[in-house]
Amino acid sequence: MSPLFINFVYVISAAMFIFGLKMLSSPATARRGNLLSALGMFIAIVVTLLAAGIDYKWIFLGMVIGSAIGVVVATRVEMTSMPEMVALFNGFGGISSLLLAWGEYHQNPQMSVFIAIVAFLSAFIGGITFTGSMVAFGKLSGKISQQAVVFKGQHIMNAAILATALLAALVFCLTPGTGFGYTVFILIVLVALGFGVTSTIPIGGADMPVVISLLNSYSGLAACAAGFVISNNILIVAGALVGAAGMILTNIMCKAMNRSLANVLFSGFGTVTAAGAASDGPQGEVRPATAEDVYYILEAADSVAFVPGYGLAVAQAQHVVKELGDLLEKNDTEVSYAIHPVAGRMPGHMNVLLAEANVPYDQLVEMDDINPRMDTVDVCVVIGANDVVNPAALDDESSPIYGMPIIETHRAGTVIVLKRSMNPGFAGIQNALFFAENARMYFGDAKDSIQALVAEFKSV
């Protein structure tokens, strides 16, 4: 198989990646885009294996085992666990790049300086991605504390680890073909694995959407560097696309929180600060509502905007929300779903959740589009969201989330907030919205509460 033909197929695969990535930007085409990109990678893998002329039965066996595990996990994972699954995917991508660079170096230790540099990058970034993703998985799944773990001198320690890695990289790149160089490479791997833990553990649960996006970018950069190590053009292109897309998404997420990436990584946000603690207690009178009360409010509304949050995923209430939305539309009510960029625990969590319930894509409205017309919305129904609708972000300079763009539900005619209790959200601060004059608290499990409303509509 000629190199010209191989590179031609790689160009086709790269084009499929790009078009697939473009299609992922819309819920209406995301599924087709995912399939198109997967097909492009499958074609690239087949051509690469055929061109190598190797005995790939072990590779085929690995693909079969991996695919079987993937199918079982993907079909059994609940929507609440989807962020953890994405974190695992990022981690496995990172460790794959690390092992690929290590394997290539083990077989061909006489590397040029350039190949030694990209081997270092692949191993170092891959190691950080793996252990960082495992920490993110632990925080999201509740296996370790979701709070930011901070201690005195932490930044100095991380800076020392990074300096050690860079010094080791310099030594390795100058002496890759020696026994000492191999020892230094092992040190780089160990430092990378440790740095993944120490750089992720200080980040609180409230920032996990940004962390997942960033780790996704890291996995792409590690794969891109690994492509240079083994001189594989399609791996370079695929890794660069993932790295760039992840970094762009990370930037979008940071803007949605009105924070810099450095602030997310180094501030230890996610714990209740002294400033934020002052707003933890009751800030007024709560006005509870029954299912019958909420029914009469919704029945009289001309426009209703649902604002989903992580609580919607926990309750698995997306299908009954869609059913309620259909009943409202039959009642000549305009229905929309307001989506905050960081709602949930990973980028696009709410979009995927609502798509699973077949909510029409044109009813999904971004934060920047819903806020200018929020004054015209009769009723906002907040389901499991907390920090992304907290007015303290707009007017309380002492709040840890001050300056963060929110969905301004408090400007609607009436706000119905569905929550199990008055417990604060991921940021660990109380929500002033709960005490607003136009807010009614509808306590209970979100799914049961919505089902009660559906029953009210169907009983008339």
361: domain CATH number? 3.40.50.1220
**282 and 258 belong to one structural domain:** no
Q: Is residue 111 assigned to a domain?
A: yes
* Non-local CB neighbours of 220 within 8 Å, separated by 6+ positions: 93, 238, 239, 240, 241, 242, 243, 244, 245, 246
Range of the domain at 234: 77-266
Q: Is residue 285 assigned to a domain?
A: yes
Where is the domain boundary, 206, 241, 266? Answer: 266
**165 and 257 belong to one structural domain:** yes
Where is the domain boundary, 212, 245, 266? Answer: 266
**201 and 330 belong to one structural domain:** no
Query: 387 catalytic, yes or no?
Result: yes
DSSP character at residue 93:
H
> b vs e for 44-71, b when ≥16 Cβ sit within 10 Å of the residue's Cβ?
beebbeeeeeeeeeeeeeeeeeeeeeee
Q: Is residue 69 assigned to a domain?
A: no
Give the tokens for residue 77: 């994972």
Residues with pLDDT less than 50, the chain: 269-279
Where is the domain boundary, 266, 284, 311? Answer: 266
Please report the pLDDT score of residue 427 as a whole number: 59
In the chain, the amino acid numbered 411 is: R
Give the tokens for residue 351: 């979009």
**212 and 358 belong to one structural domain:** no
Rg (CA), the chain: 25
Q: How many helices (H) and strands (E) does the chain have?
A: 18, 6
The sign of the CA dihedral 17, 19, 25, 28 is: negative
Q: Is residue 63 assigned to a domain?
A: no
Q: How many Cα atoms occupy the beta-carbon half-sphere of 167 within 13 Å?
A: 7
**309 and 452 belong to one structural domain:** yes
Antiparallel, parallel or unpaired: β 364-366 and 379-383: unpaired
Residue 326, strand partner residues? none
**254 and 303 belong to one structural domain:** no
Please report the pLDDT score of residue 267 as a whole number: 57
Please report the pLDDT score of residue 261 as a whole number: 78
Find the helix or strand (DSSP H, E) in which 195 lies: helix 179-200
Catalytic residue among 280, 293, 378, 387: 387
**109 and 181 belong to one structural domain:** yes
Nearest to 149 by CA among 268, 283, 297: 268
* Non-local CB neighbours of 386 within 8 Å, separated by 6+ positions: 309, 311, 419, 424, 425, 426, 427, 431
Please report the pLDDT score of residue 280 as a whole number: 52
**313 and 452 belong to one structural domain:** yes
**285 and 377 belong to one structural domain:** yes
Please report the pLDDT score of residue 29 as a whole number: 86
Q: Is residue 65 assigned to a domain?
A: no
Q: Is residue 14 assigned to a domain?
A: no
Between CA 135 and CA 138 the distance in angstroms is 5
**346 and 416 belong to one structural domain:** yes
Q: Is residue 318 assigned to a domain?
A: yes
Count of domains for the chain: 2
Q: Which SS3 state, helix, strand or coil, does residue 416 take?
A: strand
Q: Could you tell me if 128 and 94 are in contact, meaning their C-beta atoms sit under 8 angstroms apart?
A: yes
State pLDDT tens for residues 396-429. Answer: 888 777 888 899 999 999 999 998 877 766 656 7
Between CA 297 and CA 103 the distance in angstroms is 64
